[in-house]
Structure 1
Amino acid sequence: MAEIIAQDKQGGKQRKKLIRVDMTPMVDLGFLLITFFMFTTNFTKPNVMDLGLPAKDPDPYPKKNVVINDKNQVTFILGKDNKVFYHQSNSNDLNTGNLKETDFNGIHISKIISEAYDHAPNKDVFTIIIKPTDDANYKNFVDMLDNIAISKKEQYGVTDIKPWEKKVYEELTK
């Protein structure tokens, strides 16, 4: 670690002591500290998406069930190859003629949402439903949520695609 070299007296001079410190252990300690901080530090901040979750309801079991009919909702089906389809139909009325296709352009989706909202008989229960297929990718889902946030509609839901919708969707994408 440290080494002391003593020199003899020469001509009545005092004896000088030279001190030499070995820095090798300090270098090892420096590398250990750098390694520790590299493993414990986040280099990038995680990207977090803010979902509009409902506030805690004091009465979690409402006394009346609200039924949302076809005209009080718009359903978006996220498909493969960056395609999105939408409709306002039920299981009996949905066919390849009224399952329409659009793209993820915010102007188009916002326009579809606002037109559906304007024609809704009961605007208080107007809901946007997102149904991603197995072929949809995560980016398209995030884009859809961003478009809903742009349209400033707060009631939306995410659910699985129903078999009757999947049948019509598959007919269109063949």
Structure 2
Amino acid sequence: MAEVIAQEKQGGSRQRKKLVKIDMTPMVDLGFLLITFFMFTTNFTKPNVMDLGLPAKSPTPPKNVVDVRNQVTFILGKDNRVFYHQSSKEDLNSKNLKETNFSGINISKIISEAYNNAPVKENFTIIIEPTDEANYKNFVDVLDNIAISNKERYGITDIKPWEKKVYEELIQ
């Protein structure tokens, strides 16, 4: 591992100078063993997963399961825009499709107001409809606000054609 080599100094001096040579090969092996040991024994970061309880698809879609007064619908649009409404197909227009932002205070306030105005509170449902232009972060932000609001009934669906028509009128 280590060698001591004695050499005589040339010249008139009688002193011997000792040179030390250290072989570092075992230290390199030890370093790799330690790195391997710590890689296998450490806990890597576990991914944060949000549990989505999605129902199975039924062969026939249900009709008018949720009354419009017992729901609030969020439409996630492009450029970080979010719209919401509590209207039926016949009543929805550009005046009652309202826009808000992704601030937690605003979305939570909208959810709590809709819940307080719902005639049957145990049937209150939040519907999330992301458009093709929406991004994933906005979707997660809405899900986080639903979790903060302690509302357990929510659904995720595609935007309806009649909602998309009104939505496109507003974004232009």
- For the residue of structure 1 that corresponds to 2:73, the secondary structure is strand
**Mapping of residues 29-40 of structure 1, within 5 Å:** 29-33=29-33, 36=36
Q: Distance in 2 between matches of 1:103 and 1:91?
A: 24
Q: Distance in 1 between matches of 2:42 and 2:129?
A: 35
1:103 aligns with 2:101: yes
1:27 aligns with 2:27: yes
Q: Distance in 1 between matches of 2:160 and 2:42?
A: 41
CA RMSD of aligned residues (A): 3.2
Identity, in percent, stands at: 60
State whether residues 70 and 115 of structure 2, in contact with CA within 8 Å, keep that contact through their aligned partners in structure 1: yes
> Residue 154 of structure 1 aligns to which amino acid in structure 2?
E
Of 136, 149, 152, which aligns to 2:150?
152
Show CA shifts across 1:4-30 (max 9, x none).
Answer: x9xxxxxxxxxxxxxx99744313413
- For the residue of structure 1 that corresponds to 2:126, the secondary structure is strand
Q: Distance in 2 between matches of 1:134 and 1:169?
A: 12
Structure 2 vs 1, CA of residues 41 and 76 (structure 1 numbering), >3 Å: closer, same or farther? farther
Flag structure 1 segments of 5+ consecutive residues without an equivalent.
6-19, 55-64
Structure 2 vs 1, CA of residues 37 and 161 (structure 1 numbering), >3 Å: closer, same or farther? farther
Segments ≥4 residues shifted beyond 3 Å:
20-25, 34-44, 49-54
2:171 matched residue in structure 1 = 173
What number of residue pairs does the alignment pair up? 150
Superposition TM-score, scaled by structure 1 size: 0.70
Flag structure 2 segments of 5+ consecutive residues without an equivalent.
6-19, 55-62
Deviation of 1:44 (Å): 6.2
> Residue 168 of structure 1 aligns to which amino acid in structure 2?
V
Structure 2 vs 1, CA of residues 163 and 23 (structure 1 numbering), >3 Å: closer, same or farther? farther
1:91 matched residue in structure 2 = 89
- For the residue of structure 1 that corresponds to 2:165, the secondary structure is helix
State whether residues 52 and 154 of structure 1, in contact with CA within 8 Å, keep that contact through their aligned partners in structure 2: no
State whether residues 2 and 23 of structure 2, in contact with CA within 8 Å, keep that contact through their aligned partners in structure 1: no
Deviation of 1:113 (Å): 1.1
> Residue 132 of structure 2 aligns to which amino acid in structure 1?
D
> Residue 29 of structure 1 aligns to which amino acid in structure 2?
D
Structure 2 vs 1, CA of residues 162 and 40 (structure 1 numbering), >3 Å: closer, same or farther? farther
Superposition TM-score, scaled by structure 2 size: 0.71
Show CA shifts across 1:12-71 (max 9, x none).
Answer: xxxxxxxx99744313413433553576577862451443648xxxxxxxxxx9821111
Show CA shifts across 1:64-114 (max 9, x none).
Answer: x98211111100011111111001122222111111001112222122111
- For the residue of structure 1 that corresponds to 2:132, the secondary structure is coil
Q: Distance in 1 between matches of 2:79 and 2:102?
A: 11
State whether residues 78 and 131 of structure 1, in contact with CA within 8 Å, keep that contact through their aligned partners in structure 2: yes
Name the stretch that deviates more: 65-74 or 146-155: 65-74
Structure 2 vs 1, CA of residues 141 and 44 (structure 1 numbering), >3 Å: closer, same or farther? farther
